[in-house]
């Protein structure tokens, strides 16, 4: 059978980059010609063994009429040159540019927003603009791939698309990679005592991930748990602000910020407890990694997190921006061994049962095959 020519259009890096690399690594190279058309934020070296063609264009993250029109024009020409059977757009910016560039070509287009931009707490005006853009561009989508039930429900409620047009494919992780990465970083290399009780979070140091709530939680625990240390694995636009907050709270030496690292799993493998205190979350893939690593989890009860975490079954759920609840949850897990063991056991079972990236690849393959057959390309 002729290979399916699949053109990926991507703009933002970060989580989408990780998602795409995992997906490509597990899709059948004998069935696909994989082409990536991406922004300058992507590295060709990362995709050398994963794709057949790597093409970069200038796509900016912010809205810019002049730059966006130029990007649409370039991408439209590239679409015609690449002759894809299916176009797969990832995230809202690439989704907008890719859909407009594809107008009139007759090529089926799949769009994965990786979390709706209008659900992000970025102010009512931005949310309003993002929502109307999604509504206006919705007729240009053949099928949506949605990463959680929450995101699907939200799209229906906001009249973005009808339910039958959306396919929910939960994110997944490379289970073997998690096992291989564990143990490659030590506490000694980070100047953390071996007997410390380490509470950590992995994520951007940005408003979404609520690093300020994490630090305020640490401040509430520093005297009650003198052997507790706190780690933030990542970097971001709020790092300077968070470093000032750490100093103001008297937590210097007790809170470690790693900055950007290539192997965050190796750091989260050191945690005694793992956290995700996001203010909004399209999925929260790091929670699956925590579960696979056997870490008891504390997370906020917001958006798609409830698709992954059931309170007091495979994690504890707390309110957004509630440092006191998070601190109480830390103590509850520390003091209740049976609860801690239950959370760990159930989490590992759930990760293995539902969130393997091989399942993600199979579900993508089934959808793309169906679309190709429908369009007789």
Q: Kindly report, residue by residue over 306-357, the tens digit of the pLDDT.
A: 889 999 999 999 999 999 999 999 999 999 999 999 999 999 999 998 999 9
| Residues 247-286 pLDDT 10s | 999 999 999 999 988 888 899 999 999 999 999 888 888 9
Question: Long-range contacts: 91-95, Cβ < 8 Å, 24+?
Answer: 91/10, 91/11, 91/12, 91/16, 92/116, 92/117, 92/130, 92/133, 92/134, 93/11, 93/12, 93/59, 93/61, 94/9, 94/10, 94/11, 94/12, 94/39, 94/59, 95/9, 95/137
Burial state string for 292-312 with b = 16 or more CB within 10 A and e = fewer than 16: bbbbbbbbbebbbbbbbbeee
Interacting residues of 17 by C-beta distance below 8 A, sequence separation 6+: 10, 41, 42, 46
Q: What is the pTM of this model?
A: 0.83
Give the fold, CATH level 3, of 176-354.
Answer: Rossmann fold (3.40.50)
More confident residue, 19 or 229: 229
pLDDT beyond 90 at 102: yes
Give the architecture (CATH level 2) of 4-172+356-375: 3-Layer(aba) Sandwich (3.40)
* Domain boundaries defined on the chain: 4-172+356-375, 176-354
Q: How many Cβ atoms sit within 10 Å of the Cβ of residue 36? A: 25
- Whole-angstrom Cα distance, residue 350 to residue 307? 11
* Of the candidates 199, 188, 184, 187, the residue with the CA atom closest to the CA atom of residue 263: 184
Three-state DSSP class for residue 10: strand
Do 4-172+356-375 and 176-354 show the same overall fold?
yes
């Amino acid at each position: 059978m002729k290979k399916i020519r699949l053109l990926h259009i991507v703009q933002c890096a970060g989580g989408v980059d990780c998602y795409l690399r995992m997906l490509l690594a597990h899709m059948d190279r004998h069935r696909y010609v994989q082409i990536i058309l991406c922004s300058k934020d992507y590295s060709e070296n990362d995709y050398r063994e994963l794709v057949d063609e790597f093409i970069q264009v200038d796509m900016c993250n912010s809205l810019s009429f002049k730059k966006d029109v130029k990007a649409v024009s370039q991408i439209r020409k590239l679409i015609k040159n690449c002759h894809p059977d299916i176009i797969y757009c990832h995230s809202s910016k690439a989704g907008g540019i890719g859909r407009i560039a594809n107008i009139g070509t007759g090529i089926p287009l799949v769009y994965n927003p990786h979390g709706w931009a209008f659900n992000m707490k970025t102010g009512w005006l931005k949310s309003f603009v993002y929502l109307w853009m999604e509504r206006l561009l919705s007729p240009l989508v053949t099928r949506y791939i949605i990463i959680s039930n929450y995101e699907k429900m939200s799209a229906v409620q906001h009249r973005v698309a009808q339910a039958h047009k959306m396919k929910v494919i939960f994110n997944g992780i490379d289970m073997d990679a998690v096992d291989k990465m564990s143990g490659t970083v030590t506490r000694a290399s980070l100047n953390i005592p071996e007997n410390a009780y380490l509470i950590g979070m992995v994520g951007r140091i940005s408003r979404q991930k609520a690093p300020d709530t994490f630090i305020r939680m640490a401040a509430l625990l520093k005297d009650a748990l003198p052997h507790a240390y706190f780690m933030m694995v990542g970097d971001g636009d709020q790092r300077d602000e968070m470093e000032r907050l750490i100093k103001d709270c008297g937590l210097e030496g007790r809170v470690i910020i790693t900055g950007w690292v290539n192997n965050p799993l190796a750091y989260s493998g050191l945690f005694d407890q793992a956290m995700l205190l996001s203010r909004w979350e399209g999925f929260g893939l790091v929670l699956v990694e925590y579960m696979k690593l056997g870490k008891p989890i504390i997370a906020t009860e917001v958006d798609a997190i409830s698709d992954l975490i059931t309170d007091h079954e495979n994690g504890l759920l707390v309110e957004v921006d509630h440092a006191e609840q998070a601190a109480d949850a830390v103590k509850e897990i520390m003091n209740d061994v049976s609860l801690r063991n239950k959370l760990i056991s159930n989490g590992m079972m759930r990760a293995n049962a539902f969130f393997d990236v091989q399942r993600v690849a199979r579900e993508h393959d089934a959808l793309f095959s169906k679309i190709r057959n429908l369009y007789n390309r």
